[in-house]
Chain A
Amino acid sequence: MEKNKSRRSFLKNISLASASALALSGCTLKELEKFFQKNFRTLSEEEKKELIAELEAEYKEKYQKDFHVSDKAAIDGTLFGYALDVSRCIGCRRCVYACVEENNQSREPQIHWIQVLQMDKERGIDFAHSDVHYDPETVPEEGHFYLPVQCQQCRTPQCTTVCPVKATWQEPDGIVVVDYNWCIGCRYCMAACPYGARHFNWAKPEIPEEEINTETHYLGNRPRMKGVVEKCTFCIQRVRAGKYPSCVEICPVGARKFGNLLDPDSEIRYILDNKRVLVLKEELNTQPKFYYFFGV
């Protein structure tokens, strides 16, 4: 009896304490609601609409611009694939910065979804001896070739299986996405990714107001917050609208190719059928949908 009483009073006290803590912390009802928001995949259409309207209002307040946050689902019959011509890339890094602008990556502290690795021709693909900080007057440099690395959009992604809260998953069109509202920032996925393709917002991301891209997708380039992981989504906001990813469009040598792996007439399928292709770290069985090929 004595025991029961103390348990009851414990429960009473703890609930009172948490309620008063909530009240004292100055949490608005809106913030509370946000805290209890469900995982994006379990939201109904109605709930999604509400959530997006809220986000759009929030971004407008923050950046003084009208945002469009899309929740467009995968197009039926698509599985996106990417191919990069190693024999053409000259390492100019145009893709890196086009990606930063399109996808609202933090400028300060700096986040780049694409890393262009300079490799020695003598060594071949050798990550241990590659250099991401090369900075000559002009590229390409003699004796080197370039290997841009970004999310490889694996068919068996390790990053999604280790996520303890299922905040990251593979969409039906093959794009691995992150729900930033659901991410707890544990960075297990970053440890699991063998390509270093995931990036963490260690501080509040800073983007100049005039450079912000207002055409966004919930699972892609909408503004992020401190403490969440982000990554390349093949420009989900563009490709689900039929457009090419931003890095494809900027590449001055046309080394970047993109398309639907399920469409036998797509350029990506032509490459797989006719060119010599490779994937990075094949031995890990991650089965990337990001291929490297030799156009010449």
Chain B
Amino acid sequence: MYRQTGYKLIFPALLLAFVFWSCSHTASNTGWNQSDSVLEEGVVVHKNGDLTEMAVEAPPFTEGIYPCNDCHTDIEPNPNRRELVDFHDDISAIFDHDSENRWCLDCHDMNNRDSLRLASGKLLSFEESYKLCGQCHGEKLRDWKVGVHGKRTGYWNGKKEYLLCVHCHNPHSPRFKALMPEPPPVRQEDIHIYEPKTEEDGKE
């Protein structure tokens, strides 16, 4: 029994060491600087049990809003579903995430506002919010874990960086927002406008 536990501990440690080694190995091999990484301080690294290392950027909080308990410790929790008017009314205004059936305390924990809460009652840190999303969007979570839904950056044969669901989808209004497109290509009929800028260009 004791022996078994030992093995259990050694294996993940070896695994981590291997992942670390292969990453640093790839980086040094390639000439690309590891500091190219988009991950910054405050980064959370999760392991999903497989060989994949899951590095996630810190959750995108509105500035000055976290920790929530700074305000909420002095406020008596009110479990009744209602329209918020005094504070967080900006979120009420945009809330569009099955708003007919859900409201704040379906995801935020009533007693500890610095935590999210699964349907099971289990508390969850904001860094693990993807698990909360996955309660309903299980198929998306599965695709995200293998890198098919959402964006992966980094190394195709090494360390990958993930974004959380909430980096692209506002959890209170998750539909992906329209973007301004980059300019269209020059039309073929306009190409004759091109004139070499220097004499040398013209000659070549």
| Chain A residues in the interface with B (C-beta under 8 A) | 68, 70, 75, 85, 90-94, 96-97, 108-110, 112, 115, 132-140, 202-204, 206, 226, 239, 241-244, 248-249, 251-254, 257-260, 263, 265-267, 270-271, 274-275, 295
Rounded to whole Å, the gap between the CB of B37 and the closest CB of chain A is 11
Cα distance, A68 to B30, chains bound together (Å): 13
B63 at the interface (CB under 8 A from A): no
Instruction: Of the listed stretches B40-48, B74-82, B121-129, B184-192, name the one at the interface; the rest are far from the partner chain.
Output: B184-192
B89 at the interface (CB under 8 A from A): no
Residues of B within 8 Å of A242, CB to CB, are: 26-27, 29-30, 32, 155-158
Interface size class of B (residues with CB under 8 A): 35 or more
B residues 55-69 near A (Cβ < 8 Å) are none
* B184 near A135: Cβ-Cβ < 8 Å: yes
* B30 near A267: Cβ-Cβ < 8 Å: no
Residues of A within 8 Å of B185, CB to CB, are: 96, 110, 112, 115, 132-133
* B151 near A139: Cβ-Cβ < 8 Å: no
* A243 near B181: Cβ-Cβ < 8 Å: no
Q: Which of B26, B27, B146, B178 interacts with A267 by CB under 8 Å?
A: B146
| Chain B residues in the interface with A (C-beta under 8 A) | 26-27, 29-32, 51, 143, 146-158, 168, 176, 178-187, 191, 194, 196-197, 201, 204
Cα distance, A253 to B176, chains bound together (Å): 8
Rounded to whole Å, the gap between the CB of A226 and the closest CB of chain B is 6
Provide a sorted-by-A list of 18 A–B residue pairs whose CB atoms are within 8 angstroms.
A110-B185, A132-B184, A135-B181, A203-B194, A204-B204, A226-B204, A242-B26, A242-B30, A242-B32, A242-B156, A248-B152, A248-B153, A252-B151, A253-B168, A263-B157, A267-B146, A270-B146, A270-B148
* A94 near B182: Cβ-Cβ < 8 Å: yes
Rounded to whole Å, the gap between the CB of A273 and the closest CB of chain B is 10
Residues of A within 8 Å of B27, CB to CB, are: 242
Cα distance, A138 to B183, chains bound together (Å): 11
B200 nearest CB neighbor, chain A only: A204
Q: Which of B168, B179, B186, B194 interacts with A92 by CB under 8 Å?
A: B179
Residues of A within 8 Å of B176, CB to CB, are: 90, 253
* B182 near A92: Cβ-Cβ < 8 Å: yes
Besides A243-B30, A254-B149, 17 more A-B contacts (Cβ < 8 Å) are A70-B31, A90-B176, A93-B184, A96-B185, A138-B180, A138-B181, A204-B201, A241-B29, A242-B30, A242-B157, A242-B158, A243-B155, A244-B156, A263-B157, A267-B152, A270-B148, A295-B148
Cα distance, A202 to B51, chains bound together (Å): 49
A253 nearest CB neighbor, chain B only: B176
Residues of B within 8 Å of A274, CB to CB, are: 148
Cα distance, A75 to B27, chains bound together (Å): 15
* B184 near A133: Cβ-Cβ < 8 Å: yes
* A134 near B181: Cβ-Cβ < 8 Å: yes
* B157 near A260: Cβ-Cβ < 8 Å: yes
Cα distance, A25 to B184, chains bound together (Å): 43
Cα distance, A112 to B148, chains bound together (Å): 26
